[in-house]
């Protein structure tokens, strides 16, 4: 337990060498109880040191005795490393379970809100479509037409947000689609510029002949929105946010990254800014 190679080596080691510095006061209190007050020390869990100064969890109890006519103490020390590790693992599992239950409750709430909001959005989209058709059929008002188109775009984006909430609530699965990433980003530029503000220049550098990708378009929207917000927060005043796309081929020799990424053809989405951090 203490890493001694022999009984003699352990007996020759002063007991204080096995006590951590922050445990001296508690050790002295137990010694006083044993040797001066002649009272036993009830079983308690503590940390002691092995001979190599590594920590070990132990269970300690002691009783006062007479040894060779002198006041002494008989100590019982038991290694409880396995028990402590098992308890820590159990507490970790309980924490994970509580977190899972919490997320389940949040998911149920998010799903209910998203469902109601989605119903209202369908009304907004329907009425907007009707207004666009009516405006086109009558005396065309170009300013009104442009505003209606923007309203429709905002409603479609909001519908995507509700879909994310429903996905989070596990009421709707992810819906991967084959996408032209440049086309998706093009459609988000106006929204991204509004998010980052006038002081930050958004530079869009679409790659040439970028391969198509398969993913949920709402996830791509969320990634870009999050990165734009991070850039805005990192840039103190005036700065630049650059979004680039391109193709890359990874082979076994050039790629030594972690995870399950395999060699092959990939599309690169690069987002950089002039902010700190």
CB neighbourhood size of 162 (10 A): 22
Q: How many domains does the chain have?
A: 3
Contact 124, 150 (CB under 8 A): no
**Do residues 184 and 249 share a domain?**
yes
Output the domain CATH number for residue 14: 3.30.450.20
Q: What is the 3-state secondary structure (H, E, C) of 19-34?
A: CCHHHHHHHHHHHHHH
Of 172, 165, 160, 175, give the one whose Cα is nearest residue 111: 165
**Do residues 229 and 207 share a domain?**
yes
Output the domain CATH number for residue 186: 3.30.565.10
Q: Is 88 among the domain residues?
A: no
Contact 53, 20 (CB under 8 A): no
Q: Is 85 among the domain residues?
A: no
Residue 93 structure tokens: 């599992």
What is the chain's percent helix, strand, coil content, to nearest 5?
50, 25, 25
* Predicted pLDDT of residue 247: 95
Q: Is 86 among the domain residues?
A: no
Length of the chain: 277
Contacts of 134 (CB under 8 A, 6+ apart): none
Give me the average pLDDT of each 10-residue run along the chain (277 residues): 84 86 88 87 90 91 89 89 92 87 71 74 82 78 83 82 67 74 89 84 94 87 83 87 93 62 88 84
Residue 264 backbone class (left: φ over 0; alpha: ψ -120 to 50; beta: rest): left
* Predicted pLDDT of residue 182: 94
* Predicted pLDDT of residue 47: 92
Q: Please say which residue of 168, 191, 222 terminates a domain.
A: 168
**Do residues 184 and 263 share a domain?**
yes
Pairing of strands 70-79, 177-179: unpaired
**Do residues 218 and 264 share a domain?**
yes
* Predicted pLDDT of residue 254: 60
Domain that holds residue 125: 96-168
* Predicted pLDDT of residue 144: 84
Pairing of strands 264-273, 239-250: antiparallel
Contacts of 57 (CB under 8 A, 6+ apart): 45, 46, 47, 79, 80, 81, 83, 84
Q: Is 231 among the domain residues?
A: yes
* Predicted pLDDT of residue 218: 74
Of 239, 168, 230, 169, give the one whose Cα is nearest residue 198: 239
Q: Is 161 among the domain residues?
A: yes
Instruction: Judge residue 116's burial from the number of C-beta atoms within 10 Å of its C-beta, 0-12 exposed, 13-18 middle, 19 or more buried.
Output: exposed
Contact 273, 231 (CB under 8 A): yes
Q: Please say which residue of 79, 108, 129 terminates a domain.
A: 79
Q: Please say which residue of 79, 112, 134 terminates a domain.
A: 79
* Predicted pLDDT of residue 209: 94
* Predicted pLDDT of residue 167: 65
Angle ∠(102,163,220) on CA atoms, nearest 5: 100
């Amino acid at each position: 337990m203490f890493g001694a190679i022999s009984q003699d080596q352990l007996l020759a080691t002063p007991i204080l060498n096995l006590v951590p510095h922050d445990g001296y006061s508690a050790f002295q209190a137990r010694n006083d109880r044993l040797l001066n007050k002649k009272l036993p020390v009830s079983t308690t869990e503590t940390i002691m040191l092995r001979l190599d100064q590594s920590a070990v969890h132990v269970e300690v109890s002691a009783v006062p005795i007479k040894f060779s006519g002198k006041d002494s103490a008989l100590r019982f020390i038991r290694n409880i490393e396995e028990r402590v590790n098992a308890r820590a693992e159990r507490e970790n599992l309980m924490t994970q379970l509580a977190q899972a239950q919490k997320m389940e409750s949040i998911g149920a709430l998010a799903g209910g809100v998203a469902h109601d909001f989605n119903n209202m959005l369908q009304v907004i989209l329907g009425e907007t479509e009707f207004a666009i058709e009516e405006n086109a059929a009558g005396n065309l008002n170009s300013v009104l037409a442009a505003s209606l188109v923007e309203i429709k775009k905002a409603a479609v984006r909001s519908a995507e947000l509700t879909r994310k909430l429903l996905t989070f609530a596990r009421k709707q699965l992810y819906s991967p689609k084959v996408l032209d990433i440049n086309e998706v980003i093009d459609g988000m530029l106006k929204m991204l510029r509004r998010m980052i503000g006038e002081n930050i220049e958004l530079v869009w550098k679409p790659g040439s002949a970028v391969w198509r990708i398969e993913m949920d378009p709402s996830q791509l929207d969320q990634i870009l929105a999050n990165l734009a917000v991070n850039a805005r927060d990192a840039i103190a005043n005036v700065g630049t946010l650059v979004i680039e796309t391109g193709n890359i081929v990874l082979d076994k020799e050039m790629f030594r990254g972690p995870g399950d990424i395999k060699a092959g053809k990939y599309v690169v989405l690069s987002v950089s800014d002039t902010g700190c951090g």
